[in-house]
Structure 1
Amino acid sequence: MIKAFRGELLHFLADPAKGSLEQSYQYFTDGLLVIKDGLVASVGEASTLAATLEPDVEIKHYPQGLIIPGFIDTHVHYPQTEMIASYGEQLLEWLDNYTFPAEREFCNFEHGQRVAQFFIEQLLEAGTTTALVFGTVHKESVDAFFSVAQQHKLRMICGKVLMDQNCPDYLQDSAESGYNDSKALIEKWHQVDRLQYAITPRFAPTCSTEQLQKAGQLLAEYPSVYLHTHLSENKDEIAWVKQLFPNTDGYLDVYDQSQLLGKRSVFAHGVHLHDSECQRLGETHSSIAFCPSSNLFLGSGLFNLKQAQQFDITVGVGSDIGAGTTFSMLSTLNEGYKTQQLRGDKLSPFQSFYLATLGGAKALDLEGTIGNFTTGAEADFIVLDYHATPLMSRRMEHCKTLTEKLFILSMLGDERHVLATYIMGECVFNTQDKT
């Protein structure tokens, strides 16, 4: 079945920070996106492409918005949805006081399904169509999440947390049980429909060397799965890692010694990295999830994007719900811009939207599958509304360039500015649903 969508249209072909900015994206003031059986068939000028369509193909026109690929969230915790915005702590205390008690409930499959349904609705309303998601230590949490994501036909990645030390007894597994549970979940869910699995050590302090080595064993046995964990988020955390693993050369080396780095390895945060660690991340093609909302909320620090770029590290953007305080990738880009300002660096609006779309796809090793409108890509896309709020509408009246439009979207935009969300060419959310 062929569908077509007309309007102002933008997608990225390459990283704007590398090479020519003009060659890094395609932009059409009056574009046409043609979809066949849920996949991108073509994209281009409406005046040219419309003439190639059969007369019976209906064209959906969005005259006052911007059509872009769906946002990609490269680090988020669905079990933390209901304890978002918990007051007053930094990372380690926040985990003990809020996160761990909330995650205890996910031993119950039905509870997990209820939260997963709400979580996914929030993502879609915010324009996020793919996410790399933490479950809890319970197998049931992953079964619940995948069962809901499958019903919505989403491309989602999730994994069971591995955690066998320095955590409450009620959330503790063992190296062996974590391996066995993860293996069973991989066999059940990985590459079923649009679902993929991530081996998920919570972070080095809660994992014994034996457990990390078991995670490395799983990666070797199932090379198409992901590795998803945290890295160098908080200075106290880094000092704790040094005490726990004295025979390693820093935080990243804890994971490296267990063979956990690679093209499908995504490390959340990376706020306090040494150049040698960045070099190792770059040469192993490992990725970082940049989570500015969370880093600011917990007072963790300011991610050094320029350092990551110097070492050719692939970077995506993560909301990191529930330390992050918004599902909106537009609001997250707002925070990201401000973190770089505080570092004395600039984050251009082109770079922001690249990181939230094609950059995220590259971080998840899914370039060509999602993230832009190349032929054959899955047709997950959103429509952003320039006039959803009076303030943005008024501000847009004074815009003269695409750069200005993108910057205003990333500074003033939030969930309200997502007019519609499409999955495989099918509308799954539009603002009329909320009225």
Structure 2
Amino acid sequence: MLKGKKILLCLAGGVAVYKACALTSKLTQAGASVKVVMTEGATKFVTPLTFQALSRDNVYVDTFEEKDPTKITHIDIADWPDVVVVAPATANIIGKAANGIADDLVSTMLLATTAPIFIAPAMNVHMYEHPAVIANIDKLKLFGYQILEPGEGYLACGYIGKGRLMEPDDIFKHLEEFFQPSSSTLKGKTVLVTAGPTQEKLDPVRYFTNHSSGKMGYAIAEQAIKRGANVILISGPTTIKPPNGVQLENVTSAKDMFEKVIECFDFADVVIKTAAVADYRPKLVHEQKIKKSPNDWSIEMERTTDILKTLGERKEKQLLVGFAAESEQLEEYAKDKLERKNLDMIVTNSIVQPGAGFKADTNIVTIFNKNGTRLDLPLMSKHEVANYLLNEVEEVIKDSEK
């Protein structure tokens, strides 16, 4: 599973660095291409030369050492891997990653990469149980990092407890599982995801919009790619970098969104509509900037096309999933929308509940299925919500194919 995979191994300054020697060797023998990045602290335990011999590649330590003058080292390294593994991850490097600190090559690279990141903590048991470390690990989980839990046992400091770096064999197995070919029912299917807000123009400098960030839709698109789906992501204006492998279609207005969705709809097997599309737009769009006056200003608005309702009327083979962001009566409004718009599933969340509103990295949702079942999810990252939702989608597909 690892043959030809590009793995960036980051080593922080803890005595468990010696275990990274075995991990580097195993990965290289399995046919992976391994690059090693070390903190200065890590070099105090094992020399870079050791990892150079084991990985058969350059080892990187100094942020300002540019081995190739045509490239910026930390960006070049960050763009290279299929996956990043930080093992051992000390309390220090965990704290830096969680709080956006970039003061050495490892921490700078972690901010610059878009590859999936595995964190394998290793430290004294009391450090591992400190509230700051716990909070930082929880924050990394919200960022989408995968935590390889440390083991319990005798620690180098003499204590017995949780804090031992996960054994190289077990880290190796996690990476094999990560690269395991998908057996998902979504593999090979086309998943259409809409995300982000729309902007409804009033004049050359003004428009109406909403607070949607697009994070939920982008998380769903990313997780669907990992399951082997062909993903079309139709996105309103956002600042998010699209996941690798998606077919990105950028739109601006509700009209643009409608036209692009209709264009792609017939090719889709699954449609997940997370975009916060404007319900109304200015009836009159001014070609010139509207000048300020001393009087009150009224703007006449007209309805936009209800995209989700239109899809519900047109769908044939497609599995259609809607989203309902509400401030009250969540269940009532969600169930009404589920039936009225002929959906197969609807996901509802409160926009006023802490951790579940627009722009947050987390969400608290309930998923209603047209068969009458519901799934209530607690506070979790939007990537975790995406996985639970896609699990539900897969179950519906499996039932329909029986």
Shorter-chain TM-score range: under 0.3
Bigger helix share: 1
TM-score when normalising by structure 2: 0.28
Q: TM-score, with normalisation over the residues of structure 1? A: 0.26
Structure number with larger C-alpha Rg:
2
Q: Which has the higher contact order (CA 8 A, sep 6+)?
A: 1
